[in-house]
Structure 1
Amino acid sequence: MAQAYTSSTNTYSMAFVTVPSKEVGEKIGSGLVEEQLAACVNVIPGLTSIYKWQGKIEKDSELLLMIKTKTELVDQISEYIRKHHPYDVAEVISSKIDNGNPPYLDWIEKNVK
């Protein structure tokens, strides 16, 4: 019988970062996994971002990084992004994982520091 989904008690989080290209996304994602700050980084193409920057409305094609990690590492991920991201103001937002597949949450636990 399959194990029921469980509350993660805020132990795990997803962080989201927009990037300008697949190359930048893969470089940042690989670095996060190599540094054991993330268990997995999805590089999701096909975003159109509309935002105000320096008084003008901008519209850009971007990709989204979906980063799975421990909540306690989100600040370190944010620091890593600021050091390696080409934008002046990089988006780093996170959300705690309220429920998850126990084997997947265990896998995150085993693959981050």
Structure 2
Amino acid sequence: MKAACCAALLALLMVPLLRTAQRLFSMAAGAYSPGSLSAAFVTCPSEQVAKEIARALVEKHLAACVNIVPQITSIYEWKGKIEEDGEVLLMIKTRSSRIPALTDLVRSMHPYEVAEVIALPIEQGNAPYLQWVGEVVPE
């Protein structure tokens, strides 16, 4: 009875240890940690503004890549009125830890009173691409 109890206790203790070892092995092997990278989105009033912000983000290593999506239509409420504007969308790939600095840079360059900067964690993706983003954007 005592041996069975000890074996059960040992098994209970081993499960968390094995999980921790697996995580450490995965990290050492370069496996992606879900949520460590993010896709951020910023709307801009023109392609010129979008390009200026995108270039600054990449030059300052706050983004690995910025896609510029032209000709989107945004419908939103602003100061009690429904507005409709043509805009340009930036799709930004970066480290989640760099979102605050990215936001600060966008706000410093953006002409809007309230610039849209939102970010979503990247849970999965093409492993070599995700590794590249992590290499280009330092912690």
Q: TM-score, normalised by structure 1?
A: 0.91
Distance in 1 of aligned mates of 2:71 and 2:84: 13
Structure 1 pair 7/109, CA: closer, same or farther in 2 (3 Å)?
Answer: closer
| Residue in 2 that maps onto 1:91 | 116
1:41 aligns with 2:47: no
Which structure has more RCO (C-alpha within 8 Å, separation ≥ 6)? 1
Deviation string 1:75-101 (CA, Å, 9 cap, x unpaired) is: 111111110100000000000000011
In structure 1, the gaps of 5 or more residues are 1-5
| Residue in 1 that maps onto 2:40 | 15
**1:1-113 paired onto structure 2 within 5 Å:** 8-113=33-138
More strand by share: 1
Distance in 2 of aligned mates of 1:89 and 1:67: 18
Q: TM-score, normalised by structure 2?
A: 0.75
Distance in 2 of aligned mates of 1:8 and 1:100: 11
Matched residue type, 1:63? V
**What's the CA shift for 1:9?**
2.0
Question: What RMSD over aligned residues (CA atoms) do the two structures have, in Å?
Answer: 1.1
Matched residue type, 1:8? S
Matched residue type, 2:98? L
Number of aligned residue pairs: give it: 108
Matched residue type, 2:130? L
In structure 2, the gaps of 5 or more residues are 1-30
More helix by share: 2
Structure 1's consecutive aligned runs of 4 or more residues displaced over 4 angstroms after TM superposition are: none
Q: Percent identity?
A: 50
SS at match of 2:133: helix
Based on CA coordinates, which of the two structures has the bigger radius of gyration? 2
